[in-house]
Chain A
Amino acid sequence: DVKVTQSSRYLVKRTGEKVFLECVQDMDHENMFWYRQDPGLGLRLIYFSYDVKMKEKGDIPEGYSVSREKKERFSLILESASTNQTSMYLCASSPGQQQGEQFFGPGTRLTVL
C-alpha cells in the first residue's frame, strides 16, 4: 500500500513565522507535489518535483519554497507566513515519467494568526 504522510494534521502559526511542512512517501515515487485547497478554488498546485534536488513552480508559488534533498521527502517552506496562507495543504506523489495516479497525504490544515 502506498503511504504518503504529512508531519502535522493541524498547525497554528503567527504572521511572520517560518513554517515547514514535511511530506514523506514510502513507495519510491519519482514525482512529488504540493497543493493548497481552499473553498471555491479547488486544488491549486504550488510546487512539484520530478527528482531529487529538482523543483518546478506550479500555478501559485509566490510566498513558498520547497526542498527535495531525498527522494522520499518533499518539504514546503513558508518563509514568512501570512494570514492569506491559511489553508489546507496537501502533498501527493506518483510514479514514473507518465505520472500515473497521484496518491495524496492526509493534509495539513494550517492557520496563520
Chain B
Amino acid sequence: GQNIDQPTEMTATEGAIVQINCTYQTSGFNGLFWYQQHAGEAPTFLSYNVLDGLEEKGRFSSFLSRSKGYSYLLLKELQMKDSASYLCAVRGSGNTPLVFGKGTRLSVIA
C-alpha cells in the first residue's frame, strides 16, 4: 500500500522559520515533490527531491531521507502570503502517478 502522512495544520509567526514534515510508505520510490496551494487555487510546484539531502531554492528548502521515508519543507523569513496548504507527493516505481498527502494548512500570523 501507499501512505503519506503530514500534519493537518500549523501556525507560525511572520518572519519566523517553519518546518513541515512528511513521512511516506510507498511501493518503490522515484522522487518526492512539494506543492503549494492557496485557497481556491490550483497547486503549484515548489520542489523536487530524488536523492538524499537538502535542496535550496530561495526562502524554501526541501530535505529528503530515503532510508527513513522522510522529507521536510523548510520555509524561512515567513511572509503573510505563505499562508497556504502545502502538499507532499511521492512518485513510486515505474510510471505510476504521484500519490499526494492530504496537505498541511499553514497559517502565518503577525
A50 interfacial contact with B, CB 8 Å: yes
A17 to B110 CA separation, bound complex (whole angstroms): 47
Inside 8 A of A102's CB, which chain B residues have their CB? 33, 45, 89, 98
Known: A33-B97, A50-B95, A58-B97. A42 touches B102 (CB 8 A): yes
CB atoms of A98 and B95 under 8 A apart: yes
Q: Are the C-beta atoms of A99 and B95 separated by less than 8 Å?
A: yes
- Give bound CA distance, A104 to B30, whole Å: 20
Tell me, rounded to whole Å, the shortest Cβ–Cβ distance linking B46 to chain A: 10
B7 at the interface (CB under 8 A from A): no
| A-chain residues with CB within 8 Å of residue B30 when the two chains form the complex | 98
Q: Does A106 contact B (CB under 8 A)?
A: yes
A42 CA to B101 CA, complexed, in Å: 7
Interface contact A41-B95, CB-CB below 8 Å: no
**A66 to B52 CA separation, bound complex (whole angstroms):** 37
Q: Mark interface residues in B10-54 (1 if CB within 8 Å of A CB, else 0).
A: 000000000000000000001001000000111111001000000
Interface string of A35-60 (1 = CB under 8 A from B): 10000111101001010000000100
Q: Of all chain B residues, which has the CB nearest A6?
A: B42
In the complex, what residues of A have CB within 8 A of residue B100's CB? 35, 42-43
Interface residues of A (CB under 8 A from B): 33, 35, 40-43, 45, 48, 50, 58, 90, 97-99, 101-107
4 closest residue pairs by CB, A with B: A42-B102, A104-B42, A43-B100, A101-B45
Please list the residues of chain B having a beta carbon within 8 angstroms of any beta carbon in chain A. 30, 33, 40-45, 48, 87, 89, 91, 95, 97-98, 100-103
